[in-house]
Chain A
Amino acid sequence: MSADFYKPMRLNEIDSSLQEEIKKVCDINVELCMECGKCTGGCSNAHIFDYTPRKIVQLVKLGAEKTLLSMDALWTCVSCQLCVDRCPSQINIPHIMDYIREKAHRQGVKTRRINVELFHDLMLNSIRKTGRVAEAPLMLNFNLRSRQYMKDAVLGGRMFLKGKLSPFSPVVKDIDHVRRLFKKIADNREG
């Protein structure tokens, strides 16, 4: 935290552009929040979040983009959608999370949960290459890349015996259309 953290926040200096941006791009109005905490009370993972769902909505109101982009919760939200339907105002918090996560990924903001981001990246690589996900090769690749060489070795053996691990990677024939969809994410990474 910067030294500014120790000063009171000047409310009249708050930049509310993020709130406007989320309203425009995601069609989500955080001003509907009644601060009741129902989202957080039932959240599957709030107990391990650094910022809980209600606080995330509040951070959007406060324009605290830097905090949002680097928060751990982006990478531990399981997208279970419990908060959306329980919210008295149906504020789609997972959608806000997706939007901010996408932005964080684009800007290369570092996360402590590198494995989650790595897994997403490897999965997308698989889809870009073949159009589908081959589960067993993906898992193996992930364990190698995350340097967890022995992770789930016993479980892998049990699954192999049950015929659950197929080494083959299926390929979509008309792959060009699929690959073109990756242009935006690729451009973002280069840019």
Chain B
Amino acid sequence: MDIAYFPGCSLHAMAHEYDTSTRLVCQRLGINLYEVPDWNCCGATAAHSLDHHLSVGLSSRNLALVKDMNLKQMTTPCAGCFNRLKTASVELKQNDDLTAEIEKLAGISLTGAKEVEVAHTLQVIMEAVGMEGIKEQVIKPLNGMKLAAYSGCLITRPRAIAQFDDPEQPVALDHLLQALGAQPVHWSHKAECCGGGFAASDTDIVVDLGGQVLEAARQAGAEAIVAACPMCQTNLDTRQRAIEDERGIKYNLPIVYFTQLMGLAFSYSPRQMGLNRLLTSPTTLLRSRGLS
């Protein structure tokens, strides 16, 4: 299938490995990603916090670009971008006044943008390929690796916008990991918040909320946490030491993107999947399963 690809700012910087692994894995699964040319930032928390028109407008321009590519679907691996793009898509469909105001403000037509459908890459993979299709590509199964599937907030919430999986007990990521031969653990924080965009501006919030996520994963016996969002991954990985200091517990939990694990199972090397870029090293875990 052909689909427009919106990497977002993080995947071009801190989460470069998420971008690389997503592209390789999708290629293997027969999902052809075409990066949206000249895309702009979705506006993230900053825009929706301060200006609704700006927030919807920034994302709408990206939707309009997809229409120009003659594609009807767009995917992004970033949960934050997904939420902003999908919110804009829903607003454009439902709110004609707002659409007209943004068209006037930006000087662009959004007629085509209304037709573009947005889905998170996890959803695209699960719906277009599914567990069976993933299993067919698995060469090196993850050998019962105990993983905490961490959907976080924005892939499934709010329900009316995301329209995917369950906002309280999401299962898509668990199913994907099962297909790779891993053993997803039952845990309580698969859809709780990591602290989102507050890592720089109010680090204490991330240390508090991220700490609760790490603790829940530890209690559930997870050997790593699997993320589907660059913000979740970055918060839990980069703030893990601060959390350990705060709580006096050594977590040492690698925070891995689901696409990195897919790539490993599809027999790409850990380095090709950028697993060396994680601050909390997964090497010991990978060795224990014969994957490194």
A and B touch in their complex, CB below 8 angstroms: yes
Residues of A bordering B, CB below 8 Å? 44-45, 48, 76, 78-82, 84-85, 90, 92, 98-99, 101-102, 105, 113, 115-116, 118-121, 123-124, 126-127, 131-136, 138-139, 142-143, 151-152, 155, 158-159, 162-166, 170, 172-174, 176-178, 180-185, 188
The reply to whether B40 and A134 contact each other, CB–CB distance below 8 Å, is: no
Q: How far is the CA of A78 from the CA of B48 in the complex (A)?
A: 12
Confirm or deny: B1 has a beta carbon within 8 angstroms of a beta carbon on chain A: no
A82-B153, A113-B202, A124-B50 known; A178-B40 Cβ under 8 A:
yes
How close is A99's CB to chain B, nearest CB, in angstroms?
7
Dominant secondary structure of chain A at its interface with chain B: helix
Contact of A80 among B50, B196, B241 (CB under 8 A): B196
Q: Which residues of A contact B105 (CB under 8 A)?
A: 180-181, 183-184
Confirm or deny: B159 has a beta carbon within 8 angstroms of a beta carbon on chain A: yes
Q: How far is the CA of A155 from the CA of B245 in the complex (A)?
A: 14
Contact of B192 among A44, A79, A143 (CB under 8 A): A44
The reply to whether B43 and A81 contact each other, CB–CB distance below 8 Å, is: no
Q: How far is the CA of A177 from the CA of B154 in the complex (A)?
A: 27
Contact of B201 among A92, A118, A178 (CB under 8 A): A118
Select from chain B the residue with minimum beta-carbon distance to A131: B40
The reply to whether A155 and B238 contact each other, CB–CB distance below 8 Å, is: yes
Select from chain A the residue with minimum beta-carbon distance to B195: A78
Residues of B bordering A, CB below 8 Å? 9-10, 12-14, 16, 38-41, 43-54, 57-58, 61, 102, 105-108, 153-154, 157-160, 167-168, 191-193, 195-198, 200-203, 205, 209, 238, 241, 276-279
Select from chain B the residue with minimum beta-carbon distance to A133: B9
The reply to whether B157 and A80 contact each other, CB–CB distance below 8 Å, is: yes
Contact of B198 among A78, A84, A163, A172 (CB under 8 A): A78
Q: Which residues of A contact B196 (CB under 8 A)?
A: 78-80
The reply to whether A119 and B46 contact each other, CB–CB distance below 8 Å, is: yes
A79-B45, A163-B16, A178-B40 known; A119-B50 Cβ under 8 A:
no
The 24 sampled A-B contact pairs (Cβ below 8 Å) are A76-B205, A78-B193, A78-B198, A79-B49, A81-B158, A84-B157, A98-B52, A101-B50, A102-B49, A119-B46, A119-B201, A120-B49, A120-B50, A123-B44, A123-B46, A132-B40, A135-B10, A135-B14, A142-B201, A159-B14, A177-B106, A180-B106, A181-B102, A185-B51
